[in-house]
Structure 1
Amino acid sequence: MNIVAFKHFDFDDEYAFRSWTDLRGHQLAMRDPSIEINAEWMHEMDLLIICGGPMSVYEEERYPWLIQEKQFVQQAMQLGKKVLGICFGAQMIAELLGSPVCRNEYKEIGWHVINRTVERHSWLAGLPEEFTSFQWHGDTFALPKDTRLLAYSEACKVQAFAYGDHVLGLQFHLETTPACMETMFEHWSSELIEAPYIQTAEQIRSRFEQSEQSLKALHHILDQISVSL
């Protein structure tokens, strides 16, 4: 399987994805969409992963390269390519499906409980009905038309949704490693304020072992995607 992954900040840790592709024998190309997007990637790829990022999807004036990235993602969905959006990536998919992205009432930063709905999707088959994942986001969106709500949290109504059988958006971060979290603390410490759904760096560090379970869950999702091709 040929995978293209859009990486939106330089210290985003590739380990969660690369450890899986190396183990399963798949090809992974991490791309920076702010530098280049090549139309040839569309023909070569079986799966597009849109990773998280510190920007918002509605900031085209500040990040003009977002326009071309959105065009690429839109085309991928229209062509029936497998697409997995994570946090910023899920928000981009939602916007492209007609659901504007906006600020959520609460930011979610830290380890938070995710609840699955009664809706099923093959890529999430086997995941617990309730699990904990790392989160770091302030934006949200309403469930796009013609999609299925797959998961929610106390602070965010849409944590996972599916568009058909080939597109999945996840608001939460199963892929974030403790090393990446430490760098996030350094770069974005100003966001760690006292608020209902924002944990301190110490609280987040105390649960670093949870990242092992998150890694297993992400690899399980990727396995499900690979067998659906």
Structure 2
Amino acid sequence: MTTALFLAHEDDRDRGRVEAGSLADNTRARGFDVVVAHPGDDLPDPTSVDFVAVLGSAHAADDDSLPWLAPERAYVAAVLDAGTPVLGVCFGGQLLSRVLGGVVTRSPHPEVGFATVESTRDFIDSGPWMQWHFDHFTVPPGAELIAHNPNGAQAFVSGRNLGLQFHPEISAGSFAAWRLGWTRESEIEVERDFGIDVDDLADRIARDAENLSSRCGRLLDGFPRAVDRGLRRTARC
């Protein structure tokens, strides 16, 4: 059986597995054994897995005070050196950008909830994708921007690697796991600052679960096959 390694950033490993959402479900449905680990764990040799998915985090991808961030950056660099494809999601896309020589900074246009994305590749649907980020990445040197919106870059390819700013993995379960880390006061702040009722957003995710999972599956089917049609040259710092 082929193996996909998912790096989740919750200290609670069970919660990290839930946050892998429909991306993990779709990966299993395609015949992969999914291993979900924390970057602080003893991680496998990059040549022993078929791809690595780096998931989101409540932390910032440029916060070098995090004790596990430098080792995770080094591991992702080793994965790239081994030629194993990397799929970065939100924080993971930002981390991939950094490893490839890009920059992560505070976004002047944070995105919370569903936001429309314009894509140049058929495996990423143009339209609304789930967002929850206050930082953003630059497209790293040698990479190609393949999705964007007025707020900035949304996806890039570099060789066989794909960085995303949005969350294709969102599901009712993963969103519920996100909310475990929030207070009622923080949810009220989201409604005040972004006009989003978090309960209504949860209902929308649950109602649209089949479509969200299907779109995630199409994205997964395009990775890494579709990114091979893009730039084959990678640049790393």
The total of aligned residue pairs comes to 216
SS in 2 for 1:187: coil
**2:204 maps to which residue?**
207
Gaps of at least 5 residues in structure 1 are: none
Q: What is the 5 A alignment of 1:1-229? A: 1-9=2-10, 10=12, 11-12=15-16, 13=18, 14-34=20-40, 36-38=41-43, 40-61=44-65, 63-117=66-120, 120=121, 125-128=122-125, 130-155=126-151, 157-164=152-159, 166-189=160-183, 190=186, 192-195=190-193, 197=194, 199-208=196-205, 209-225=207-223
RMSD: 2.2
Partner letter of residue 173 of structure 1?
A: H
TM (normalized to structure 2)? 0.82
Which whole-Å CA distance do the structure 1 matches of 2:110 and 2:195 have between them?
7
- Deviation digits for residues 163-192 of structure 1 (CA, Å, limit 9, x no counterpart): 02x100011011121233234335235251
TM (normalized to structure 1)? 0.84
Shift in Å, 1:97: 1.6
CA contact (8 A) 2:46 2:82 kept: no
Which whole-Å CA distance do the structure 1 matches of 2:208 and 2:112 have between them?
15
Give % identity: 25
Gaps of at least 5 residues in structure 2 are: 229-237
- Deviation digits for residues 107-159 of structure 1 (CA, Å, limit 9, x no counterpart): 21111111114xx4xxxx3443x22111111001222111111111232x111
SS in 1 for 2:45: helix
